[in-house]
Amino acid sequence: LLHLGVGIKNCGPVWTTWTFYMEHFCGMLQNSLQSQSRPWSNLNNSLLHMAYLEQLGVCY
């Protein structure tokens, strides 16, 4: 636990360098791939729907 203080001094707050959120997001994107012929449209639609849900959460 002594190394945490040094790590925070060197890298900033832990939430800025913690990769769990990025790994979780990549996993969600990977699960959203349904079509092998048009994967980019699936990714675009998935991101669009995530943005819709996030905006609904902000508004309500």
User: pLDDT tens digit string along 3-52?
Assistant: 767 767 777 777 777 777 778 888 888 888 888 888 899 899 999 999 99
Is a pLDDT exceeding 70 seen at residue 59? yes
Q: Distance between CA 42 and CA 50 in Å, rounded?
A: 12
Instruction: Determine the pLDDT at residue 4.
Output: 66
CA distances 1 to 6, 13, 14, 16, 54, Å, are 10, 15, 13, 19, 35
**CA-CA distance, 29 to 48, in Å (whole number)?**
12
pTM: 0.56
pLDDT tier for residue 1 given thresholds of 50, 70 and 90:
low
